[in-house]
Amino acid sequence: MKVSHDICCYCGGCVGICPQNALELDERVLKVDKNKCVECGLCVKFCPVGALEGERK
């Protein structure tokens, strides 16, 4: 999963919905732990501004 940092408004909503706890809001940067993310696509659907993009292989 990929974050468009110029679009993300740091609402933090996606952090709470990730079942893998792969998302972390660190000050003003949304971080994705690639080792935890399983590309389930939940956060991609959830983000209200479309800042997340799946990278399903």
The contact set with ligand SF4 (CB under 6 A) reads 1, 3, 8-14, 18, 20, 22-23, 30, 32, 37-43, 47, 49, 51-52
Q: Count Cβ atoms within 10 A of the Cβ of residue 48 and give its class: 0-12 exposed, 13-18 middle, 19 or more buried.
A: exposed
Least separation in angstroms between residue 3's CB and ligand SF4 is: 6
Least separation in angstroms between residue 41's CB and ligand SF4 is: 5
Least separation in angstroms between residue 7's CB and ligand SF4 is: 7
